[in-house]
Amino acid sequence: MMHPLPHLFLLFVTTRTSITTASSSVSSSHTFPAFAHHSTPPSSSRRTQRIHHPFVTTPTTLASKSSPTIEEIHAESEQLRQEIKELRAEALRRLEALEDMLSKTPRPEKTSTNDNAEESSSLIVVDAKLQEEGLLPAPPPIVIQKSNTDNVGGQKVRKSVANLLDGTTWKISLSIGREPGTWMPKTWGSNGQRLNLSFQAEFTPTQLYERDDFLRGGYSNAKVLRIHDNRVILGPSLTEGQRVYTVKTPGGWQITRGDGPMGTDLLRFYIELDEEVSHGDMADLYIPKGRVYCSCGYFPFLTSENRSGGGGGGTAPPSMKESYANELQSIEDQMEKLQEKRAEITNPFSLDGFKLSREIGKLQREAELVVDKLNYASVREPDRSLLKFSKDMDVGLTREGGVCCRVDKGPMVVEYHILGRFSIASVDLSDATK
């Protein structure tokens, strides 16, 4: 019979070996990340590890999942950078190829063998021509209208401020010479001599399609100025007789509102000379070739009859000056009556006296405002003796206006140099054609 002690010792050694092997296998299979190893973890970490919540993941659980290492993350980032670099280079190559293809695109050519190809190429050529000519279509041929009438039954157009000059004819006389403030050369017109140029012009209602910066608003409101016989006459000098110069047709004109002094309206028009105008004995005085621009004051006088298209025999409405003068006189009459009532009250503490004094002060302030308006109207409506009227007496132009020429100082710099002044007078159309 054997002693039980050797058997117990053998069982103890076997069990200890099994436990050591199991613990070594567990320690080798579980590798905790760096953040999970602490020599002396804080109490808060120890408390957190004891909590077993289904929605809380402990560091041990996180470590058990397969997560990429830092080297793998760096490798993937480097691979993404390389792919982005290759895509960018490919996009640049495609853009360069597209630019080369567009620059080397051949122009369409007509072929006699293929009718469809010929038709398509002609359409492309027409589109290119339209783009070169601009967005606006070609202007229609200019047909001069002889009067401001409608096409239906010859009825006259209802007159307004903008069309009172339509169909009227005027004699225009230019006096060219040195004027104060001109930017012409210092030697130009320095001897005090002047060039006298005259012509007859009709302000037609025909729309002008040609652009000019002098006519504000482009050609939308500009109209054709017709020069009689397409010529201008230069008056004689001491040594030479009169000379005739031709002008290009058509000229242009326009009414611009509010461009004059105190917001008054202006008449602007131009003619275009084919050559330089001068006398042989006036070498330092000349009118340059090109367009000559003129402007003067424009004052409409509409009546109740010519507003509806009739003649000039109607009664004109009261002018601004007359209206303000009548208003001022009415205020003065009211003040005089109130002052008489105030004088009848002897009691200085009377309530009625205070009311009358307050009304008189109010009327005095109104009178001051009306006086300012009257002064303003005196500028906007000059005396009739200072104006030249049309045949129908419904529009007046200032006796004199300014003349200038355009000088281009650069690609974006334009100047208008004063050439002199002009006078204007209305003439009958039958007299102008003789």
pLDDT given for residue 204 in this prediction: 95
Give the whole-angstrom CA distance, residue 418 versus residue 177: 9
Give the whole-angstrom CA distance, residue 194 versus residue 171: 19
Per-residue pLDDT reduced to its tens digit, 331-342: 999 999 998 888
Peptide bond into 140 cis (omega under 30): no
Domain ranges in the chain? Answer: 168-310+384-432, 320-380
Per-residue pLDDT reduced to its tens digit, 7-63: 444 444 444 444 444 444 434 444 444 434 444 444 444 444 444 444 344 444 444
Residue 18's Cβ-count burial label (10 Å; 0-12, 13-18, 19+) is: exposed
| H/E run at residue 206 | strand 195-207
Per-residue pLDDT reduced to its tens digit, 204-231: 999 998 888 898 764 457 999 999 999 9
Give the whole-angstrom CA distance, residue 409 versus residue 392: 43
Model pTM score: 0.55
Q: Is the pLDDT of residue 94 over 50?
A: yes
| Among 164, 173, 231, CA closest to 203 | 164
Span 113-138, mean pLDDT?
Answer: 43
